[in-house]
Structure 1
Amino acid sequence: MKIRTATIDDLQAVAYIESVCFPAAEAATAQSFAQRLKCYPNHFWILQDGTQRVGFVNGMVTNEENLQDEMYDNAELHDENGAWQMIFGVDTMPSYRRQGCAEQLLRHVIETARNQGRKGLVLTCKETLLHYYGKFGFVNEGVSHSTHGNVIWYQMRLTF
């Protein structure tokens, strides 16, 4: 398995992976991914098994301390010199789940953010995943203000 940063050539693959990982109301669109890949490809990490893309993590960098819904669809809000690495999604193909793929990606993203001198990382997740992200050092800050996909999200933060 190899982790690399994404390019526009990955667009169809990541849009497909997203579509099998999230319900339609929560999934990012190919158009949104295209903007993200244009504005911050170095904050879009792909896990490959040979030539097959099996998962990814992506998100912008910003000085905003909290993840806001507008960030998902407005890649122009990215600030390469920002303090916080946002995580918009942790996607793993179903056939590769429970094999450490998401963990490998997250540890890589955390280390990258640390090496870049960020204050830390912020993500939102459903209640069932609070324990999972907690094992990486993320702290639950409670229910977020997000209305993304009309579900309840919890904001979690890992501060260096």
Structure 2
Amino acid sequence: MDILIRKAITADLDLVTHIEATCFPPAEAAPREAFKERLKYYSGHFLIAFDEGTPIGFIDGFVSDDEILTDEMFADASLHNPNGVWQMIFGLNTMPEYRNCGVGGRLIEAFVELARKEKRKGIILTCKEEKIPYYAKFGFVNEGESESNHGGAKWYQMRIRL
């Protein structure tokens, strides 16, 4: 599989909305309007993976000086601070037929590399308990239960320092 990863553009709105709706339950999936805002404010922090032209996944998140990833951040893309020191991850999505093929890992590695190039202190994400070992493989450290109640689920904050 020849995976190409590139930064998103505003014309990718329908594509990323479709991937999100496929990958997450309705209570957790970001709506089209949220992606419209995200692409407007931080398309440079939004990477999409393709397999020979077929979109197969994405990773996104804005930059902030805040050290805690909050639910408000998911809802308000205008909080993006291009000069912030922490890169957030709001979503990592891989289409079901491409899971367990390394696509998510390639997206994480590309995001880490982007954050390094931009001289960020590190990357922060929240995930469900069962995903903690997955992110730990890439160097993320579990900081405990998050204050987030996004989608009514229990989340854990993880961080990698660069």
Q: TM-score, normalised by structure 1?
A: 0.99
What amino acid is aligned across from residue 56 of structure 1 in structure 2? F
The alignment status of 1:19 with 2:21, answered yes or no, reads yes
User: Deviation above 2 Å: which 4+ runs of structure 1?
Assistant: none
What amino acid is aligned across from residue 118 of structure 1 in structure 2? R
Within a 5 Å distance, the mapping from 1:93-108 to structure 2 comes to: 93-108=95-110
What amino acid is aligned across from residue 129 of structure 1 in structure 2? K
**Of 26, 38, 41, which residue of structure 2 is paired with 1:39?**
41
Whole-angstrom CA distance in 2 between matches of 1:156 and 1:106: 13
Alignment correspondent of 2:5: 3
Q: 1:9 deviation in Å?
A: 1.2
Within a 5 Å distance, the mapping from 1:106-145 to structure 2 comes to: 106-145=108-147
**Of 84, 98, 103, which residue of structure 2 is paired with 1:82?**
84
What amino acid is aligned across from residue 151 of structure 1 in structure 2? A
Whole-angstrom CA distance in 2 between matches of 1:42 and 1:36: 10
Whole-angstrom CA distance in 2 between matches of 1:51 and 1:111: 23
Q: TM-score, normalised by structure 2?
A: 0.97
Alignment correspondent of 2:54: 52
What amino acid is aligned across from residue 6 of structure 1 in structure 2? A
Q: 1:46 deviation in Å?
A: 0.2
What percentage of aligned pairs have identical amino acids? 51
Count residues in correspondence: 160
Residue ranges of structure 1 left out of the alignment (5+ in a row): none
Deviations 1:59-117 (A, max 9, x none): 00000001010111111100000000000000000000000000001001001101110
Q: 1:150 deviation in Å?
A: 0.5
How large is the RMSD of aligned CA atoms in angstroms? 0.6
Residue ranges of structure 2 left out of the alignment (5+ in a row): none
Q: 1:52 deviation in Å?
A: 1.0
What amino acid is aligned across from residue 121 of structure 1 in structure 2? I
What amino acid is aligned across from residue 26 of structure 2 in structure 1? A
Q: 1:43 deviation in Å?
A: 0.2
